[in-house]
C-alpha cells in the first residue's frame, strides 16, 4: 500500500464521531477509555471519583531505574523505524510516535482509545513541526480499522496487558506487512513481591489491567501468528535504586553497579523470571 493511500484511510478514521466510536465499545474498553482520558486530561484531573493523577501515577518512581531496557528499546527503534511505516499502539500523548518521526519514519502513526490522548499527541506533533509525518487517531487496538499489510513496525510499550490478546495478536498480524515486526515491553507476572505490590496499589490500574499482567504463556500464544524473536528480561537489583533517586550523587553511583548485577541475574534461567519487566519481538512470516 502506498503511503498516500494509507494517509487517506487514516484521515477517514480521524473523521469518525468520537461519541459513535465510544458507543461501540464493550464495557471493559469503555473503562480503559475513561481511565486514559482521566490520566491524560490535565484540565480535569478528577474525572474518576476517588482518583487523582497523583494516586494513579504513584508507581512512576520505579521507572527512574529503567535506563537499560529503554536503551535496548531505543536501539530497536533505530534499527526498525527509519524509512518505515510505524505505529505506536496506545500512543498516549504521542511521545514515541513523535520520536519515531524524528528517527526518520516515512509515516509515524499513533492509535489510542482515549480521545484526550489523541488530541494531546496531535498538538504535540504540531508543536514539533512534525504534523506532515505524524498521524494520530482514536481507535481500538484490537480492531484498528487499518488496511491489511500496511504497517512495517509496531511498538507496544507497557500496553499489551490492557488488551485481549486473542484479538490483539491477529489484528497486529493482519495490519503488518510480511516480515513486519512488533516490539513489546511489559511487566512480568512471576515475582511474588512485585505481584503483591500490584495488589496493594489497585488505584493505579483498571480492573482488566489488574488481572492481565503478561507471562511467557502469553508470548507462546503469539506463535499462532508470529515467529518469536529475542526475549530479554529487565530490572531486578536495579529496582532498589528508586529509593535513592532523590539523592542524585548516590543514585548516579549505585545504578551502574545495580545494572551489572542485573546483567548477571537476568541471564540465569529461572532466576530471570523474577525480573520486573521483559521485552520480546514478534515477526510476521514472509510466506
For 10-53, the pLDDT digits (tens) are 999 999 999 999 999 999 999 999 999 988 887 765 444 444 44
Query: Is 263 within a domain?
Result: no
- CA-nearest of 113, 158, 120 to 13 is 113
Q: What is the DSSP letter of 77?
A: H
Among 68, 92, 74, 67, smallest CA distance to 183 is for 74
Indicate whether 178 pLDDT > 90: yes
pLDDT at res. 55: 44
Average pLDDT (202-211) is 79
For residue 163, the enclosing domain spans 3-234+275-283
pLDDT in tens, 218-269: 999 999 999 999 999 999 999 999 999 999 999 999 999 999 999 999 999 9
Res 180 pLDDT > 50: yes
The per-residue pLDDT of the chain, averaged, comes to 92
Alpha-carbon gap, residue 175 to 10, rounded angstroms: 13
- Characterize 114-133 residue by residue with b for buried, 16 or more Cβ atoms within 10 angstroms of its Cβ, and e for exposed: bbbbbbbbbebbeeeebeeb
Confidence band of 215 (pLDDT split at 50, 70, 90): very high
Q: Say yes or no to pLDDT of 96 above 70.
A: yes
Count the domains in the chain: 1
The count of C-alpha atoms lying within 13 angstroms of the C-alpha of 101, restricted to the half-sphere facing its C-beta, is 21
Distance CA 264, CA 239 (A): 15
Residue 141 maps to a domain: yes
Is position 254 within any domain? no
User: Rounded CA gap, 22 and 35, in Å?
Assistant: 13
Q: Using CA atoms, how far apart are residues 41 and 49, in angstroms rounded to an integer?
A: 14
Task: Cell numbers for 81, please give them.
Answer: 523505524
Lowest mean pLDDT among 90-94, 176-180, 203-207, 212-216: 203-207
Residue 268 belongs to a domain: no
Residue 132 inside a domain? The answer is yes
Mean pLDDT of the region 57-69: 82
The pTM assigned to this predicted structure is: 0.92
- pLDDT interval class at 200 (50, 70, 90): confident
Angle at 139 between CA 133 and CA 142, to 5 degrees: 115
For residue 245, being part of any structural domain is answered with no
CATH of the domain at 106: 3.40.50.150
**Band (150; pLDDT cuts 50, 70, 90):** very high
Q: What is the pLDDT of residue 52?
A: 41
Residue 168 falls inside a structural domain? yes
pLDDT in tens, 263-273: 999 999 999 99
Rounded (10°) angle between helices 115-127 and 27-40: 40
Closest CA to 163 of 110, 228, 212, 117: 212
Amino acid at each position: 500500500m502506498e503511503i498516500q493511500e494509507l494517509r487517506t484511510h487514516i484521515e477517514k478514521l480521524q473523521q469518525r464521531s468520537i461519541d459513535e466510536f465510544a458507543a461501540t465499545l464493550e464495557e471493559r474498553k469503555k473503562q480503559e477509555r475513561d481511565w486514559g482520558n482521566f490520566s491524560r486530561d490535565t484540565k480535569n484531573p478528577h474525572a474518576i471519583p476517588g482518583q487523582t493523577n497523583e494516586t494513579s501515577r504513584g508507581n512512576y518512581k520505579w521507572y527512574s531505574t529503567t535506563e537499560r531496557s529503554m536503551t535496548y528499546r531505543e536501539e530497536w527503534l533505530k534499527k526498525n523505524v527509519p524509512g518505515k511505516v510505524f505505529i505506536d499502539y496506545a500512543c498516549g500523548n504521542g511521545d514515541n510516535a513523535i520520536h519515531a518521526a524524528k528517527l526518520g519514519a516515512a509515516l509515524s502513526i499513533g492509535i489510542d482509545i482515549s480521545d484526550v490522548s489523541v488530541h494531546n499527541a496531535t498538538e504535540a506533533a504540531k508543536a514539533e513541526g512534525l504534523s506532515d509525518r505524524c498521524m494520530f487517531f482514536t481507535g481500538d487496538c484490537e480492531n484498528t480499522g487499518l488496511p491489511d499489510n500496511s504497517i512495517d513496525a509496531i511498538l507496544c510499550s507497557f500496553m499489551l496487558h490492557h488488551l485481549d490478546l486473542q484479538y490483539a495478536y491477529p489484528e497486529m498480524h493482519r495490519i503488518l506487512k510480511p516480515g513486519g515486526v512488533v516490539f513489546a515491553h511489559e511487566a512480568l507476572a512471576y515475582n511474588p513481591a512485585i505481584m503483591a505490590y500490584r495488589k496493594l496499589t489497585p488505584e493505579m490500574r483498571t480492573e482488566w489491567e489488574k488481572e492481565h499482567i503478561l507471562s511467557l504463556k502469553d508470548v507462546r500464544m503469539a506463535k499462532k501468528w508470529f515467529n518469536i524473536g529475542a526475549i530479554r528480561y529487565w530490572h531486578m537489583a536495579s529496582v532498589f535504586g528508586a529509593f535513592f533517586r532523590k539523592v542524585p550523587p548516590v543514585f548516579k553511583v549505585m545504578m551502574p553497579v545495580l545494572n551489572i548485577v542485573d546483567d548477571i541475574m537476568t541471564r540465569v534461567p529461572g532466576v530471570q523470571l523474577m525480573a520486573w519487566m521483559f521485552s520480546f519481538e514478534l515477526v510476521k512470516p514472509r510466506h
